Structure 1
Amino acid sequence: MARRINIIEVTAKSALSKSGLPELDYALNPYMGCMHSCVYCFAIDFTSNARAREDWGGTVAVRTNIIDLLKREIRTARRGIVGVSTITDPYQAIEGRYMLTRNAVKLLAGNGFRVSIQTKSPLVARDMDILTQHPRYIDVGMTVTSTDAKAWKLIEPGSPSPASRLKALSSIQSNGVKTWIFLGPILKGVNDTRESMGRVVEEAGKIGTRIIYDRYKPYRGSSKLIRGIGLNISDFTRTPENDQWWQSTRKTIESLCDSMGVTCTYQPDEWKYERSLNYGSIFQDNFS
Protein backbone atom coordinates (compact mmCIF):
# COMPACT_ATOMS: atom_id res chain seq x y z
CA MET A 1 0.00 0.00 0.00
CA ALA A 2 1.34 3.44 -0.93
CA ARG A 3 2.27 5.71 1.94
CA ARG A 4 -0.13 8.57 2.61
CA ILE A 5 1.57 11.93 2.13
CA ASN A 6 0.66 14.97 4.22
CA ILE A 7 0.98 18.24 2.30
CA ILE A 8 1.23 21.48 4.27
CA GLU A 9 1.50 24.97 2.80
CA VAL A 10 3.90 27.44 4.38
CA THR A 11 5.34 30.87 3.58
CA ALA A 12 9.05 31.35 3.06
CA LYS A 13 11.18 34.31 4.13
CA SER A 14 13.46 34.12 1.11
CA ALA A 15 13.78 32.17 -2.13
CA LEU A 16 17.52 32.12 -2.79
CA SER A 17 19.96 31.07 -0.09
CA LYS A 18 23.73 30.94 -0.17
CA SER A 19 24.89 27.44 -1.06
CA GLY A 20 27.38 25.55 1.07
CA LEU A 21 28.57 23.65 -2.02
CA PRO A 22 31.62 25.15 -3.74
CA GLU A 23 30.25 24.48 -7.22
CA LEU A 24 27.06 26.48 -6.52
CA ASP A 25 26.45 30.11 -5.61
CA TYR A 26 22.84 29.76 -4.52
CA ALA A 27 20.31 27.12 -3.57
CA LEU A 28 16.58 27.20 -4.26
CA ASN A 29 14.31 24.73 -2.49
CA PRO A 30 10.59 25.09 -3.33
CA TYR A 31 9.68 22.29 -0.93
CA MET A 32 10.79 21.07 2.49
CA GLY A 33 10.77 17.34 2.94
CA CYS A 34 10.59 14.80 0.15
CA MET A 35 8.12 12.14 -0.91
CA HIS A 36 10.92 9.89 -2.19
CA SER A 37 11.74 8.72 1.36
CA CYS A 38 15.40 7.98 0.59
CA VAL A 39 17.00 6.46 3.69
CA TYR A 40 20.42 7.96 2.96
CA CYS A 41 19.35 11.59 2.56
CA PHE A 42 21.50 14.15 4.38
CA ALA A 43 18.74 16.74 3.88
CA ILE A 44 16.82 15.45 6.89
CA ASP A 45 19.27 17.24 9.18
CA PHE A 46 19.00 20.48 7.20
CA THR A 47 15.20 20.67 6.89
CA SER A 48 13.95 23.51 9.07
CA ASN A 49 10.27 22.52 9.02
CA ALA A 50 9.87 20.21 12.01
CA ARG A 51 6.91 18.26 10.63
CA ALA A 52 8.70 17.49 7.37
CA ARG A 53 11.92 16.62 9.18
CA GLU A 54 10.38 14.33 11.79
CA ASP A 55 8.05 12.59 9.32
CA TRP A 56 10.60 12.17 6.54
CA GLY A 57 8.92 11.01 3.37
CA GLY A 58 5.45 11.35 4.88
CA THR A 59 5.11 15.13 5.13
CA VAL A 60 6.12 17.78 2.60
CA ALA A 61 5.92 21.53 3.18
CA VAL A 62 5.18 23.64 0.10
CA ARG A 63 6.73 27.12 0.13
CA THR A 64 3.80 28.69 -1.68
CA ASN A 65 5.17 32.24 -1.95
CA ILE A 66 8.60 31.33 -3.28
CA ILE A 67 7.96 32.61 -6.82
CA ASP A 68 6.87 36.05 -5.60
CA LEU A 69 10.00 36.20 -3.44
CA LEU A 70 12.19 35.09 -6.32
CA LYS A 71 10.82 37.77 -8.63
CA ARG A 72 11.92 40.41 -6.13
CA GLU A 73 15.28 38.87 -5.29
CA ILE A 74 16.52 38.45 -8.86
CA ARG A 75 16.24 42.18 -9.43
CA THR A 76 19.31 42.80 -7.28
CA ALA A 77 21.00 39.42 -6.79
CA ARG A 78 24.38 38.94 -8.39
CA ARG A 79 24.20 36.43 -11.24
CA GLY A 80 25.58 33.00 -10.44
CA ILE A 81 24.88 29.27 -10.39
CA VAL A 82 21.70 28.15 -8.62
CA GLY A 83 21.24 24.59 -7.40
CA VAL A 84 17.66 23.38 -7.85
CA SER A 85 17.44 21.81 -5.36
CA THR A 86 19.88 20.99 -2.55
CA ILE A 87 17.70 19.68 0.32
CA THR A 88 14.62 18.42 -1.50
CA ASP A 89 13.71 16.94 -4.85
CA PRO A 90 12.39 19.80 -6.97
CA TYR A 91 10.43 17.44 -9.22
CA GLN A 92 8.80 15.16 -6.66
CA ALA A 93 5.19 14.36 -7.50
CA ILE A 94 3.58 17.41 -5.87
CA GLU A 95 5.49 19.61 -8.33
CA GLY A 96 2.96 18.37 -10.86
CA ARG A 97 0.32 20.35 -8.98
CA TYR A 98 2.20 23.39 -7.72
CA MET A 99 4.68 23.95 -10.60
CA LEU A 100 6.97 26.01 -8.36
CA THR A 101 10.11 24.48 -9.82
CA ARG A 102 8.95 25.06 -13.38
CA ASN A 103 8.26 28.73 -12.72
CA ALA A 104 11.49 29.19 -10.77
CA VAL A 105 13.67 27.64 -13.48
CA LYS A 106 11.96 29.78 -16.11
CA LEU A 107 12.57 32.93 -14.07
CA LEU A 108 16.17 32.14 -13.24
CA ALA A 109 17.32 31.05 -16.69
CA GLY A 110 15.39 33.86 -18.32
CA ASN A 111 17.20 36.39 -16.15
CA GLY A 112 20.75 35.21 -16.64
CA PHE A 113 21.26 32.77 -13.77
CA ARG A 114 22.89 29.42 -14.41
CA VAL A 115 20.55 26.65 -13.21
CA SER A 116 21.79 23.23 -12.16
CA ILE A 117 18.90 20.83 -11.57
CA GLN A 118 19.25 17.60 -9.60
CA THR A 119 16.34 15.20 -9.29
CA LYS A 120 15.38 11.57 -9.40
CA SER A 121 12.06 12.15 -11.13
CA PRO A 122 11.13 11.89 -14.82
CA LEU A 123 8.74 14.81 -14.24
CA VAL A 124 11.64 17.11 -15.16
CA ALA A 125 11.03 16.20 -18.82
CA ARG A 126 7.65 17.96 -18.56
CA ASP A 127 9.58 21.23 -18.70
CA MET A 128 11.39 20.42 -21.94
CA ASP A 129 10.13 23.67 -23.45
CA ILE A 130 11.99 25.70 -20.82
CA LEU A 131 15.07 23.47 -20.83
CA THR A 132 15.48 23.70 -24.59
CA GLN A 133 14.78 27.44 -24.64
CA HIS A 134 17.76 28.06 -22.34
CA PRO A 135 20.27 25.24 -23.03
CA ARG A 136 23.21 27.53 -22.33
CA TYR A 137 21.95 28.24 -18.82
CA ILE A 138 20.60 24.89 -17.66
CA ASP A 139 21.97 21.44 -16.88
CA VAL A 140 19.97 18.50 -15.57
CA GLY A 141 21.33 15.83 -13.25
CA MET A 142 19.53 12.58 -12.49
CA THR A 143 20.38 10.54 -9.40
CA VAL A 144 20.65 6.83 -10.17
CA THR A 145 22.05 4.85 -7.26
CA SER A 146 21.37 1.51 -8.93
CA THR A 147 19.30 -0.01 -11.70
CA ASP A 148 18.62 -3.04 -9.50
CA ALA A 149 15.00 -3.10 -8.32
CA LYS A 150 15.82 -4.67 -4.96
CA ALA A 151 18.42 -2.01 -4.09
CA TRP A 152 16.28 0.85 -5.39
CA LYS A 153 13.20 -0.17 -3.39
CA LEU A 154 15.30 -0.70 -0.27
CA ILE A 155 16.97 2.71 -0.14
CA GLU A 156 14.62 4.90 -2.24
CA PRO A 157 11.19 3.40 -1.50
CA GLY A 158 9.10 6.39 -2.63
CA SER A 159 11.02 7.33 -5.75
CA PRO A 160 10.26 6.74 -9.45
CA SER A 161 11.92 3.75 -11.10
CA PRO A 162 15.50 4.11 -12.36
CA ALA A 163 14.31 3.08 -15.83
CA SER A 164 11.88 6.01 -15.97
CA ARG A 165 14.60 8.40 -14.80
CA LEU A 166 17.05 7.23 -17.44
CA LYS A 167 14.43 7.47 -20.17
CA ALA A 168 13.69 11.09 -19.20
CA LEU A 169 17.38 11.99 -19.03
CA SER A 170 18.01 10.46 -22.44
CA SER A 171 15.22 12.56 -23.91
CA ILE A 172 16.61 15.73 -22.34
CA GLN A 173 20.14 14.98 -23.56
CA SER A 174 18.91 14.25 -27.09
CA ASN A 175 17.24 17.67 -27.12
CA GLY A 176 20.57 19.42 -26.66
CA VAL A 177 20.50 20.10 -22.92
CA LYS A 178 23.56 19.26 -20.82
CA THR A 179 22.95 16.34 -18.48
CA TRP A 180 24.72 14.19 -15.91
CA ILE A 181 24.06 11.19 -13.71
CA PHE A 182 24.78 11.20 -10.00
CA LEU A 183 25.91 7.69 -9.15
CA GLY A 184 25.46 7.85 -5.45
CA PRO A 185 25.56 7.74 -2.73
CA ILE A 186 27.48 4.47 -2.84
CA LEU A 187 26.61 2.30 0.15
CA LYS A 188 28.79 -0.64 1.11
CA GLY A 189 26.94 -3.90 0.56
CA VAL A 190 24.06 -2.29 -1.33
CA ASN A 191 25.18 -0.75 -4.63
CA ASP A 192 28.97 -1.06 -4.55
CA THR A 193 29.55 -4.12 -6.72
CA ARG A 194 31.32 -3.76 -10.04
CA GLU A 195 28.24 -5.14 -11.76
CA SER A 196 25.83 -2.71 -10.11
CA MET A 197 27.94 0.37 -10.73
CA GLY A 198 28.85 -0.85 -14.20
CA ARG A 199 25.22 -0.96 -15.28
CA VAL A 200 24.77 2.71 -14.36
CA VAL A 201 27.97 3.69 -16.17
CA GLU A 202 26.81 1.71 -19.19
CA GLU A 203 23.52 3.64 -19.22
CA ALA A 204 25.47 6.90 -19.05
CA GLY A 205 27.44 5.81 -22.09
CA LYS A 206 24.28 5.03 -24.03
CA ILE A 207 22.81 8.44 -23.21
CA GLY A 208 26.04 10.29 -23.90
CA THR A 209 26.18 11.90 -20.48
CA ARG A 210 28.74 12.03 -17.70
CA ILE A 211 28.93 10.64 -14.15
CA ILE A 212 29.37 12.36 -10.80
CA TYR A 213 29.84 9.93 -7.92
CA ASP A 214 30.21 9.93 -4.13
CA ARG A 215 29.95 7.74 -1.05
CA TYR A 216 27.29 7.78 1.66
CA LYS A 217 28.16 9.98 4.64
CA PRO A 218 26.17 9.34 7.84
CA TYR A 219 24.11 12.13 9.38
CA ARG A 220 21.92 11.83 12.45
CA GLY A 221 18.60 11.69 10.59
CA SER A 222 19.66 9.28 7.88
CA SER A 223 21.54 7.06 10.34
CA LYS A 224 18.24 6.17 12.01
CA LEU A 225 16.72 5.21 8.66
CA ILE A 226 19.81 3.26 7.62
CA ARG A 227 19.57 1.20 10.80
CA GLY A 228 15.86 0.79 10.15
CA ILE A 229 16.49 -1.20 6.96
CA GLY A 230 18.97 -3.48 8.69
CA LEU A 231 22.27 -1.89 7.67
CA ASN A 232 25.11 -1.35 10.13
CA ILE A 233 26.03 2.32 10.43
CA SER A 234 29.60 1.37 11.37
CA ASP A 235 30.07 0.30 7.74
CA PHE A 236 29.82 3.95 6.73
CA THR A 237 31.82 5.82 9.37
CA ARG A 238 35.34 7.05 8.63
CA THR A 239 37.68 4.23 9.63
CA PRO A 240 40.89 2.98 7.96
CA GLU A 241 39.01 -0.11 6.79
CA ASN A 242 36.11 1.86 5.33
CA ASP A 243 38.45 4.38 3.73
CA GLN A 244 40.33 1.52 2.08
CA TRP A 245 37.02 0.16 0.78
CA TRP A 246 36.18 3.56 -0.65
CA GLN A 247 39.53 3.98 -2.37
CA SER A 248 39.06 0.57 -3.98
CA THR A 249 35.50 1.46 -4.99
CA ARG A 250 36.64 4.75 -6.50
CA LYS A 251 39.22 2.93 -8.60
CA THR A 252 36.51 0.57 -9.82
CA ILE A 253 34.23 3.44 -10.84
CA GLU A 254 37.05 5.28 -12.60
CA SER A 255 38.07 2.07 -14.38
CA LEU A 256 34.50 1.38 -15.51
CA CYS A 257 34.09 4.92 -16.81
CA ASP A 258 37.44 4.82 -18.60
CA SER A 259 36.66 1.48 -20.26
CA MET A 260 33.27 2.72 -21.47
CA GLY A 261 34.41 6.18 -22.53
CA VAL A 262 32.34 7.99 -19.90
CA THR A 263 33.64 11.13 -18.21
CA CYS A 264 33.37 10.91 -14.44
CA THR A 265 34.05 13.26 -11.54
CA TYR A 266 34.32 12.60 -7.81
CA GLN A 267 31.74 14.90 -6.22
CA PRO A 268 34.18 16.79 -3.95
CA ASP A 269 36.10 17.73 -7.11
CA GLU A 270 33.02 18.89 -9.02
CA TRP A 271 33.77 22.54 -8.29
CA LYS A 272 36.94 22.23 -10.39
CA TYR A 273 34.88 20.99 -13.34
CA GLU A 274 32.34 23.80 -12.93
CA ARG A 275 35.09 26.40 -12.70
CA SER A 276 36.68 25.11 -15.91
CA LEU A 277 33.47 25.91 -17.81
CA ASN A 278 33.92 29.64 -17.11
CA TYR A 279 30.26 30.56 -16.71
CA GLY A 280 31.44 33.99 -15.62
CA SER A 281 31.67 34.99 -19.27
CA ILE A 282 27.97 34.22 -19.68
CA PHE A 283 27.04 36.45 -16.76
CA GLN A 284 29.33 39.25 -17.95
CA ASP A 285 28.20 39.12 -21.57
CA ASN A 286 24.52 39.30 -20.74
CA PHE A 287 24.25 41.13 -17.45
CA SER A 288 27.31 43.34 -17.05
Structure 2
Amino acid sequence: MNVSVCTHRKIILPCGLKDIDYQVDPYVGCEHYCHYCYALATAETDWSKEIQIHNHIVDQLSEEIDKIAPQTIYMGYHTDPYQPCEAEYRQTRNALELFLKKGFSASILTKSDLVVRDIDVLKKMKNAAVSVSVAFNDNSTRRLFEAATMDTEKRIEALRRLKQAGVRTGALVCPVIPYLTDAVELIDRLAPHAEVIWVYGLAIDDRWGQQWATVKKILSRHFPDLTEPIETAVFSKQDRYWTRLKENLAALKNDRQLNLNVHL
Protein backbone atom coordinates (compact mmCIF):
# COMPACT_ATOMS: atom_id res chain seq x y z
CA MET A 1 0.00 0.00 0.00
CA ASN A 2 1.32 3.41 -1.01
CA VAL A 3 0.71 6.04 1.67
CA SER A 4 1.01 9.64 0.51
CA VAL A 5 0.18 13.08 1.91
CA CYS A 6 -3.13 14.57 0.80
CA THR A 7 -3.67 18.12 -0.36
CA HIS A 8 -4.34 20.59 2.45
CA ARG A 9 -7.98 20.58 3.51
CA LYS A 10 -10.10 21.01 6.63
CA ILE A 11 -10.00 17.98 8.86
CA ILE A 12 -13.01 18.73 11.05
CA LEU A 13 -16.14 18.62 8.91
CA PRO A 14 -19.89 18.82 9.60
CA CYS A 15 -21.46 15.50 10.51
CA GLY A 16 -24.92 14.44 9.37
CA LEU A 17 -25.50 12.00 12.22
CA LYS A 18 -28.06 12.69 14.93
CA ASP A 19 -26.70 14.51 17.99
CA ILE A 20 -23.18 14.82 16.54
CA ASP A 21 -22.11 18.06 14.87
CA TYR A 22 -18.62 17.25 13.62
CA GLN A 23 -16.63 14.36 12.18
CA VAL A 24 -12.97 13.65 11.52
CA ASP A 25 -11.59 11.23 8.95
CA PRO A 26 -7.96 10.61 9.96
CA TYR A 27 -7.23 9.22 6.49
CA VAL A 28 -8.30 10.07 2.96
CA GLY A 29 -9.29 6.71 1.52
CA CYS A 30 -9.61 3.32 3.13
CA GLU A 31 -7.49 0.29 2.42
CA HIS A 32 -10.25 -2.00 3.66
CA TYR A 33 -11.63 -1.46 0.16
CA CYS A 34 -15.06 -2.99 0.78
CA HIS A 35 -16.56 -3.54 -2.66
CA TYR A 36 -20.04 -2.38 -1.61
CA CYS A 37 -18.83 0.86 0.06
CA TYR A 38 -20.68 4.06 -0.84
CA ALA A 39 -17.53 6.12 -0.33
CA LEU A 40 -15.77 4.51 -3.31
CA ALA A 41 -17.83 6.73 -5.60
CA THR A 42 -15.87 9.77 -4.40
CA ALA A 43 -12.45 8.14 -4.00
CA GLU A 44 -9.54 10.41 -4.90
CA THR A 45 -7.10 7.52 -5.37
CA ASP A 46 -7.32 3.81 -6.13
CA TRP A 47 -7.84 2.55 -2.58
CA SER A 48 -6.52 -0.87 -3.50
CA LYS A 49 -3.15 0.80 -4.08
CA GLU A 50 -3.00 4.17 -2.33
CA ILE A 51 -4.49 6.01 0.61
CA GLN A 52 -3.48 9.40 2.02
CA ILE A 53 -2.72 10.97 5.39
CA HIS A 54 -2.96 14.53 6.65
CA ASN A 55 0.36 16.29 7.03
CA HIS A 56 0.89 17.45 10.64
CA ILE A 57 -2.57 16.25 11.67
CA VAL A 58 -2.15 17.20 15.34
CA ASP A 59 -1.10 20.79 14.64
CA GLN A 60 -3.94 21.38 12.22
CA LEU A 61 -6.54 19.62 14.35
CA SER A 62 -5.47 21.64 17.37
CA GLU A 63 -6.10 24.89 15.51
CA GLU A 64 -9.47 23.70 14.23
CA ILE A 65 -10.92 22.33 17.47
CA ASP A 66 -9.91 25.45 19.37
CA LYS A 67 -12.68 27.17 17.38
CA ILE A 68 -15.47 24.91 18.70
CA ALA A 69 -16.69 23.92 22.13
CA PRO A 70 -15.60 20.57 23.60
CA GLN A 71 -17.95 17.85 22.35
CA THR A 72 -18.07 14.38 20.83
CA ILE A 73 -16.38 14.00 17.43
CA TYR A 74 -17.40 11.17 15.12
CA MET A 75 -14.69 9.07 13.45
CA GLY A 76 -15.49 6.55 10.74
CA TYR A 77 -17.80 8.25 8.25
CA HIS A 78 -15.84 8.02 4.99
CA THR A 79 -12.86 5.95 6.08
CA ASP A 80 -12.06 3.44 8.79
CA PRO A 81 -9.95 5.12 11.50
CA TYR A 82 -8.37 1.75 12.27
CA GLN A 83 -7.53 0.53 8.79
CA PRO A 84 -4.25 -1.44 8.67
CA CYS A 85 -1.91 1.52 8.15
CA GLU A 86 -3.06 3.03 11.47
CA ALA A 87 -0.78 0.55 13.22
CA GLU A 88 2.17 2.44 11.75
CA TYR A 89 0.94 5.99 11.11
CA ARG A 90 -1.15 6.46 14.28
CA GLN A 91 -3.21 9.32 12.86
CA THR A 92 -6.24 8.17 14.85
CA ARG A 93 -4.27 7.64 18.05
CA ASN A 94 -2.75 11.12 17.77
CA ALA A 95 -6.16 12.67 17.18
CA LEU A 96 -7.66 10.88 20.19
CA GLU A 97 -4.86 12.01 22.47
CA LEU A 98 -5.46 15.59 21.32
CA PHE A 99 -9.21 15.26 21.90
CA LEU A 100 -8.59 14.01 25.42
CA LYS A 101 -6.19 16.85 26.15
CA LYS A 102 -8.70 19.43 24.88
CA GLY A 103 -11.72 17.96 26.69
CA PHE A 104 -13.36 16.37 23.65
CA SER A 105 -14.68 12.85 23.27
CA ALA A 106 -15.03 10.45 20.34
CA SER A 107 -17.63 8.17 18.81
CA ILE A 108 -15.90 5.61 16.59
CA LEU A 109 -17.04 3.15 13.95
CA THR A 110 -14.58 0.50 12.78
CA LYS A 111 -14.16 -2.98 11.32
CA SER A 112 -10.87 -3.56 13.10
CA ASP A 113 -9.78 -4.90 16.47
CA LEU A 114 -6.87 -2.44 16.44
CA VAL A 115 -9.16 -0.10 18.37
CA VAL A 116 -8.43 -2.03 21.58
CA ARG A 117 -4.91 -0.56 21.46
CA ASP A 118 -6.45 2.78 22.40
CA ILE A 119 -8.61 1.66 25.31
CA ASP A 120 -6.29 3.56 27.65
CA VAL A 121 -7.28 6.85 25.99
CA LEU A 122 -10.94 6.05 25.33
CA LYS A 123 -11.75 5.07 28.91
CA LYS A 124 -10.46 8.45 30.12
CA MET A 125 -12.86 10.34 27.84
CA LYS A 126 -16.33 11.33 28.94
CA ASN A 127 -18.87 9.15 27.09
CA ALA A 128 -16.49 7.79 24.45
CA ALA A 129 -18.19 5.13 22.34
CA VAL A 130 -16.99 2.49 19.89
CA SER A 131 -19.14 0.54 17.46
CA VAL A 132 -18.05 -2.24 15.15
CA SER A 133 -19.62 -3.05 11.82
CA VAL A 134 -20.19 -6.66 10.74
CA ALA A 135 -22.02 -8.10 7.76
CA PHE A 136 -20.94 -11.69 7.26
CA ASN A 137 -21.49 -14.83 9.31
CA ASP A 138 -18.58 -16.71 7.78
CA ASN A 139 -15.23 -15.32 6.82
CA SER A 140 -15.04 -17.07 3.47
CA THR A 141 -17.97 -14.95 2.28
CA ARG A 142 -16.57 -11.86 3.99
CA ARG A 143 -13.32 -12.14 2.09
CA LEU A 144 -15.17 -11.97 -1.23
CA PHE A 145 -16.56 -8.53 -0.41
CA GLU A 146 -14.03 -7.04 2.04
CA ALA A 147 -10.84 -9.08 1.91
CA ALA A 148 -8.67 -6.58 3.78
CA THR A 149 -10.87 -6.45 6.89
CA MET A 150 -10.60 -8.33 10.17
CA ASP A 151 -12.44 -11.58 10.86
CA THR A 152 -15.90 -11.12 12.33
CA GLU A 153 -14.82 -13.00 15.47
CA LYS A 154 -11.98 -10.55 16.11
CA ARG A 155 -14.35 -7.60 15.87
CA ILE A 156 -16.75 -9.15 18.36
CA GLU A 157 -13.87 -9.91 20.72
CA ALA A 158 -12.79 -6.27 20.46
CA LEU A 159 -16.30 -5.22 21.54
CA ARG A 160 -16.10 -7.56 24.51
CA ARG A 161 -12.81 -6.06 25.64
CA LEU A 162 -14.04 -2.50 25.18
CA LYS A 163 -17.18 -3.15 27.21
CA GLN A 164 -15.13 -4.88 29.90
CA ALA A 165 -12.94 -1.76 30.07
CA GLY A 166 -15.97 0.45 30.62
CA VAL A 167 -16.15 1.99 27.15
CA ARG A 168 -19.64 2.37 25.68
CA THR A 169 -20.17 -0.11 22.86
CA GLY A 170 -22.45 -0.57 19.88
CA ALA A 171 -22.64 -2.58 16.69
CA LEU A 172 -23.86 -2.26 13.13
CA VAL A 173 -25.10 -5.24 11.18
CA CYS A 174 -24.35 -3.57 7.89
CA PRO A 175 -24.84 -4.10 5.08
CA VAL A 176 -27.37 -6.89 5.22
CA ILE A 177 -26.99 -8.58 1.84
CA PRO A 178 -30.23 -10.45 1.13
CA TYR A 179 -29.93 -14.25 1.38
CA LEU A 180 -26.25 -13.99 2.37
CA THR A 181 -26.34 -12.17 5.71
CA ASP A 182 -28.04 -13.95 8.61
CA ALA A 183 -28.81 -10.83 10.63
CA VAL A 184 -30.49 -12.69 13.49
CA GLU A 185 -27.46 -14.91 14.05
CA LEU A 186 -25.10 -11.94 14.02
CA ILE A 187 -27.29 -10.08 16.51
CA ASP A 188 -27.19 -13.11 18.82
CA ARG A 189 -23.40 -12.96 18.76
CA LEU A 190 -23.19 -9.21 19.20
CA ALA A 191 -25.90 -8.61 21.81
CA PRO A 192 -23.87 -9.61 24.91
CA HIS A 193 -21.21 -7.05 24.07
CA ALA A 194 -23.14 -4.14 22.49
CA GLU A 195 -25.38 -1.68 24.29
CA VAL A 196 -27.15 -0.83 21.04
CA ILE A 197 -27.33 -2.52 17.63
CA TRP A 198 -28.30 -0.93 14.31
CA VAL A 199 -29.33 -2.95 11.25
CA TYR A 200 -29.01 -1.55 7.72
CA GLY A 201 -29.67 -3.23 4.39
CA LEU A 202 -27.36 -3.00 1.40
CA ALA A 203 -28.11 0.42 -0.09
CA ILE A 204 -27.36 0.94 -3.77
CA ASP A 205 -29.33 3.55 -5.70
CA ASP A 206 -27.90 3.21 -9.19
CA ARG A 207 -28.60 -0.12 -10.83
CA TRP A 208 -26.23 0.77 -13.65
CA GLY A 209 -23.44 2.25 -11.55
CA GLN A 210 -20.04 0.83 -10.67
CA GLN A 211 -21.00 -0.06 -7.09
CA TRP A 212 -23.68 -2.55 -8.15
CA ALA A 213 -21.62 -3.77 -11.11
CA THR A 214 -18.83 -4.79 -8.73
CA VAL A 215 -21.17 -6.48 -6.26
CA LYS A 216 -23.06 -8.28 -9.02
CA LYS A 217 -19.82 -9.58 -10.51
CA ILE A 218 -18.96 -11.20 -7.17
CA LEU A 219 -22.45 -12.63 -6.82
CA SER A 220 -22.52 -14.01 -10.35
CA ARG A 221 -19.21 -15.77 -9.86
CA HIS A 222 -19.76 -17.20 -6.39
CA PHE A 223 -23.54 -17.25 -5.85
CA PRO A 224 -25.09 -17.62 -9.32
CA ASP A 225 -28.34 -19.13 -8.05
CA LEU A 226 -28.87 -16.23 -5.64
CA THR A 227 -27.87 -13.35 -7.91
CA GLU A 228 -31.34 -12.69 -9.30
CA PRO A 229 -33.26 -12.78 -5.98
CA ILE A 230 -30.55 -10.67 -4.33
CA GLU A 231 -30.76 -8.07 -7.10
CA THR A 232 -34.55 -7.98 -6.86
CA ALA A 233 -34.41 -7.38 -3.10
CA VAL A 234 -31.63 -4.80 -3.25
CA PHE A 235 -33.62 -2.61 -5.60
CA SER A 236 -37.02 -3.07 -3.97
CA LYS A 237 -37.40 -2.34 -0.27
CA GLN A 238 -40.94 -3.75 -0.55
CA ASP A 239 -39.54 -7.15 -1.47
CA ARG A 240 -40.80 -10.04 0.68
CA TYR A 241 -37.24 -10.66 1.92
CA TRP A 242 -37.25 -7.36 3.79
CA THR A 243 -40.79 -7.85 5.04
CA ARG A 244 -39.93 -11.20 6.61
CA LEU A 245 -36.66 -9.89 8.05
CA LYS A 246 -38.36 -6.90 9.66
CA GLU A 247 -40.95 -9.19 11.21
CA ASN A 248 -38.24 -11.50 12.58
CA LEU A 249 -36.22 -8.61 13.98
CA ALA A 250 -39.27 -7.04 15.61
CA ALA A 251 -40.01 -10.34 17.33
CA LEU A 252 -36.37 -10.69 18.40
CA LYS A 253 -36.32 -7.17 19.79
CA ASN A 254 -39.48 -7.78 21.79
CA ASP A 255 -38.55 -11.25 23.05
CA ARG A 256 -34.99 -10.33 24.06
CA GLN A 257 -35.71 -6.72 25.07
CA LEU A 258 -32.84 -5.55 22.88
CA ASN A 259 -31.89 -1.98 22.06
CA LEU A 260 -32.27 -2.75 18.38
CA ASN A 261 -32.69 -0.09 15.68
CA VAL A 262 -33.79 -1.45 12.32
CA HIS A 263 -33.39 0.61 9.13
CA LEU A 264 -34.46 -1.60 6.24
Go from structure 1 to structure 2 and tell me whether the alpha carbon gap of 1:6 and 1:141 turns closer, same or farther (over 3 Å shift). same
Partner of residue 170 from structure 1, selected from 160, 169, 188: 160
| Equivalent residue, structure 2, for 1:20 | 16
Residue type matched to 1:199 in 2?
Answer: E
Go from structure 1 to structure 2 and tell me whether the alpha carbon gap of 1:267 and 1:139 turns closer, same or farther (over 3 Å shift). farther
Number of residue pairs matched by the alignment: 253
Residue type matched to 1:185 in 2?
Answer: P
Aligned 1:182-197 pairs, distance under 5 A: 182-191=172-181, 196-197=182-183
Report how far residue 148 of structure 1 moved.
1.4
Residue type matched to 1:101 in 2?
Answer: T
Residue type matched to 1:262 in 2?
Answer: L
Partner of residue 252 from structure 1, selected from 242, 248, 257: 248
| Equivalent residue, structure 1, for 2:223 | none
The alignment partner of 2:123 has SS state of helix
Partners of 2:62 and 2:198 lie apart in 1 by: 32
Go from structure 1 to structure 2 and tell me whether the alpha carbon gap of 1:46 and 1:113 turns closer, same or farther (over 3 Å shift). farther
Report how far residue 240 of structure 1 moved.
6.0
The alignment partner of 1:118 has SS state of strand
Report how far residue 208 of structure 1 moved.
4.8
| Equivalent residue, structure 2, for 1:60 | 51
Report how far residue 62 of structure 1 moved.
1.7
Work out whether 1:157 is the aligned partner of 2:154. no
Partners of 2:254 and 2:145 lie apart in 1 by: 28
Where does structure 1 lack aligned partners over 5 or more consecutive residues? 269-288
Partner of residue 200 from structure 1, selected from 169, 186, 211: 186
Partner of residue 262 from structure 1, selected from 229, 252, 258: 258
Partners of 1:56 and 1:228 lie apart in 2 by: 19
| Equivalent residue, structure 2, for 1:227 | 216
Summarize deviations over 1:56-89 as a string: whole Å, max 9, x none. 3332112233222110011112444321020000
Where does structure 2 lack aligned partners over 5 or more consecutive residues? 221-226
What's the TM-score once normalised by structure 2's chain length? Answer: 0.86
| Equivalent residue, structure 2, for 1:142 | 132
Work out whether 1:180 is the aligned partner of 2:170. yes
- Kept in 1, the 8 Å contact 2:111–2:133? The answer is yes
Go from structure 1 to structure 2 and tell me whether the alpha carbon gap of 1:56 and 1:228 turns closer, same or farther (over 3 Å shift). farther
The alignment partner of 1:203 has SS state of helix
Alpha-carbon RMSD: 2.2
Partners of 1:67 and 1:201 lie apart in 2 by: 37
Partners of 1:169 and 1:124 lie apart in 2 by: 9
- Kept in 2, the 8 Å contact 1:113–1:137? The answer is no
Partners of 1:86 and 1:187 lie apart in 2 by: 20
Go from structure 1 to structure 2 and tell me whether the alpha carbon gap of 1:163 and 1:96 turns closer, same or farther (over 3 Å shift). same
Work out whether 1:239 is the aligned partner of 2:236. yes
Partners of 1:62 and 1:240 lie apart in 2 by: 38
What's the TM-score once normalised by structure 1's chain length? Answer: 0.80
The alignment partner of 1:76 has SS state of coil
Q: Which segment is superposed worse, 172-181 or 30-39?
A: 30-39
Aligned 1:12-161 pairs, distance under 5 A: 12-47=8-43, 49=44, 51=45, 55-134=46-125, 136-161=126-151
Report how far residue 263 of structure 1 moved.
1.3
Report how far residue 238 of structure 1 moved.
4.1
| Equivalent residue, structure 2, for 1:284 | none
Partners of 1:199 and 1:164 lie apart in 2 by: 16
